[in-house]
Amino acid sequence: MGLRIHFVVDPHGWCCMGLIVFVWLYNFFLIPKIVLFPHYEEGHIPGILIIKREFWELCNKCNLMRPKRSHHCSRCGHCVRRMDHHCPWINNCVGEDNHWLFLQLCFYTELLTCYALMFSFCHYYYFLPLKKRNLVRNVYIH
């Protein structure tokens, strides 16, 4: 048996998709040519609005515009700004937006691990010998 693809004809969905494509095309092509470039040539707007397009590049895997220094995560399937790595423990990419939170997670995990090791050490090397001593003392007393 092959995989069956279920296609639903939804006029409302096609209308919404057409509107989104229209807005995207309008913003990507017409706004720079009609609004930005003429006003830049007349000196009404700063050049930074025109230069900002140079800080973006096309991702060759997802074919979307992404900021420079972004990387495409093969596990998540999207581009992440200043990506460090994909962490399987949090099931998310570590990048510019959550790097500090990831470092906090690592710090508190290490702190709790040290806390647990301290209590394990106390249990095996202090409380168990103390318990054995009390058992031996109770045997001699009775």
Q: Does the pLDDT of residue 43 top 80, yes or no?
A: no
Token digits for 28?
């990507």
- Residue spans of the domains in the chain: they are 13-55
Active-site annotation, residues:
87
Cα–Cα distance measured from residue 21 to residue 52, given in angstroms and rounded to the nearest whole number: 22
pTM of the model: 0.50
Asked if 62 contacts 78 with a C-beta cutoff of 8 angstroms, the reply is yes
E strand or H helix that includes residue 94 = strand 92-94
pLDDT digits (tens, 9 = 90+) for 25-38: 776 776 666 666 66
pLDDT digits (tens, 9 = 90+) for 89-113: 888 899 988 999 999 999 999 999 9
Token digits for 51?
């230069």
